[in-house]
Every structure is written in C-alpha cells, then in structure tokens.
Structure 1
C-alpha cells in the first residue's frame, strides 16, 4: 500500500509539473485572433460593482458598454498571464484607459492577464484596445432605456448587427450572468477586422428573458 501511495504521489507531481510547464509555455504574440469584450456596465454594477464600491458605478459616470478587454485567442482556447519582457504599464497609462474601461484597476488587470500575451508593449496594447473599442457602433437604442427590461439575448445581438453593417452573426456572441446580459464579444483579426469566432467563443446566451438595466 505504501509503495502504491508513493507511486500515486509521484504521478500527481509529474502531472502537476507538466501542467505548470504548459501554462508557462505560451509565447507572447503567438495566437490566432482577438476577442473584443464589451461589458454592459449597469448590470455589472448591480451584480458586482456596487457591493465593492466601484467608482465605475457612480451615477455621474454614465457608462453603458464599457471595454472589458481585448483578448488574444487560439482557435481553441486562449493564452493568459504570459511571461513577457515588456515593461508593465505606468499609472498614467492605466488611468488613461478609465474613460472607456471604468477603472484604472481593470486596465491593469487586463494587461497582466491578456496584454502580456499580445506581444505588444503596454502602450501599444492599450492603444490597440482603444482603436478596437472605438470602431464598434454600440446600439443607441440600449442607452434609451428608462427602466429595467427582460428580453431575449438574441435581441441584443441583433441590435449590434444592425448597428454594424458587415458583421455576421458568427462573429459576435452575447453572454449572460445570473440571468442578466453581461457582455458582447466580437471576434477580430490581428488587423481588427471582424472574423468568425471559434471554440467556446461561439457560445451565445440563449436566455429569452435576460435582464437589461438602464444607464444610471
């Protein structure tokens, strides 16, 4: 029994070590495409931000769709927390993203988790993220809500497709969290042209009564 337990322990350590090595093997800049993730700020604030006192949720901020992040993707899966020789962003860089991301803290986290895998410097990564965000026409109709509504998640997708001629349904997914609209995720080439999504990025929210709360 003791020998069997030792063998099992050795196997566990070998598997753990292999997994750890794999996790660190991702090479910055080695990926297939980007996902641009936009978060519906009022829902995020109701679910998370208010409880943490996030400045993003202050009533004078007027946030609708904020930039969650620009994420390097593989056709199946994604890299994160890559080992990079690039310098981390300065405080000025992260503060400079708060107008579209809500907080400097989110900008820092997005660099640490996703930007390090882009192969870009922090400044170039944030500039590319802003370029991608500003290229999207965010549906004006969703900013006109004056009370919470429930609706099929597909309606939000259709609103984005109508506002952005040239996009196809397989280039965009809408996600939900706790029965509420969470994010719109657009798949982009390295040149920021819309392209079909793959893998888990294809999974649309299928809720027919997803909550959408109005801008504060």
Structure 2
C-alpha cells in the first residue's frame, strides 16, 4: 500500500467506529475494520486546529491510515483493560510513516489496540500488514488535486483495484459534502470479509468532494 501517513491530535480523531462502543474483553472480537482517511478533508475541516504533523507540511497526502479497529458483528469494543506497558517511543516512531502523529498512535492504541489481545508491537505490525493488503486506486493516490465524485464511484474503484474485495466489504464515509474515510472489513487474519452493519452506515450522498491537499474543501 502506497499512501500511508496520518496524524490527528490525541483527542481529535476523524470519526468514531462504525457502531456504538461497548465494554469488552481484550481479544474477544469478530473482525477488523481498516479505516483509511482522506487526509485533505481532515485538514480542511479542522483548519487551525489540525495537527501540523499531518497538515503543516508541503507533502501532499491522499488516503492515510486512521486505524485498525476490532469489531463485533454489532458494535465494537473500546478502551479495554490490559496489563503491560504502553507503547514505547521507539514503537510509536516505527509507525509514523503510516500515522505520523504520536498523539493519534497513542489514541488508537488506547481506544482500539487494547481490545485486540495484542501487545503494542504486534498491534502496530498488524496495522502495517492490513494496510499493505489494500491497494488504493491510482486516481486517489496523490491528494494533490480536487476530485468531484460519488461514494459509489469511490467504492467501485477500490473494488476494481482489489480483486478479492466486494461491495459488501467496504463502506465509504462522508462528512457533510466531503468524503472523509473508506472503511474496509477484514478477518482476524486480514482477509477481506463482509460486514453488514458497517456497510449500512455508509455515506448515502449522491455526490461528494475530495479536496486537495492545501485546499479549503469547497
């Protein structure tokens, strides 16, 4: 996967999981959602509150990794109690090419990683493996041009670029008229799989805008 870099402040994440959070036992979940965020939407909507690690650079960014979320068939576990160490600085630095905000990395570990049954190092490896299994369509690779499209067209492009991906396994999300995320469902061993609840919560807009890096979203 070639487009990975994301950053959000620890308390400013581009959206929640696909359904209501529930308390849960670490490791006792059904599948994963890999969330890929359209970075220019985050930067455009957050404005001066955007994380400069993501938005304050000259490098254009398109789709970037938001997180890898354990899910139930209905709802998802959150902020599970675990024993052991929090991620070390070296472990955080090791995923900054995927999620280059230390605040986001810590947030994703606390909220989602703690519910996987994995230690931080294994969780971050799982994120990398999941991201490498998704090919982002070439049309959305750069993030340096404004795109007017539809959720259906974005979904179709991802399905075409990933031969084993089906429409029932992916959900495009929007924030108002702006596309903000693509969520792809995966088994625990990171194969694409259907996810009815995630799919039901997809954006129903007929048209969306994907702003360019450095744009204002209009």
TM band (smaller chain): 0.7 to 0.9
Residue of structure 2 equivalent to 1:136: 134
Distance across 2 between alignment mates of 1:187 and 1:70: 10
TM-score by length of 1: 0.83
Deviations, residues 76-115 of structure 1 (Å, cap 9, x unaligned): 0000000011321012211221211131211110000000
Say whether 1:82 aligns with 2:57.
no
Residue of structure 2 equivalent to 1:185: 183
Q: Which has the higher helix share?
A: 1
2:204 to 201, 206, 212: 206
Contact 1:181 1:212 in 2 (8 A): yes
Q: CA deviation at 1:194?
A: 0.3
Which consecutive residues of structure 2, in runs of 5 or more, have no partner in the other structure?
A: 1-20
Provide the alpha-carbon RMSD of the alignment: 1.9
TM-score by length of 2: 0.83
1:127 to 125, 128, 152: 125
Identify if the C-alpha distance between structure 1 residues 200 and 140 changes in structure 2 by more than 3 Å, giving closer, same or farther: closer
Q: What is the 5 A alignment of 1:31-70? A: 31-48=29-46, 50-70=48-68
Distance across 2 between alignment mates of 1:95 and 1:50: 25
Residue of structure 1 equivalent to 2:170: 172
Identify if the C-alpha distance between structure 1 residues 132 and 39 changes in structure 2 by more than 3 Å, giving closer, same or farther: same
Q: Which of 153-162 and 58-67 deviates more?
A: 58-67
Question: Which of these two proteins has the greater Rg computed from alpha carbons?
Answer: 1
Say whether 1:29 aligns with 2:61.
no
Residue of structure 2 equivalent to 1:96: 94
Q: Which of 178-187 and 109-118 deviates more?
A: 178-187
Q: CA deviation at 1:53?
A: 4.5
* Residues matched between the structures, number: 194
Q: Secondary structure at the match of 2:68?
A: strand
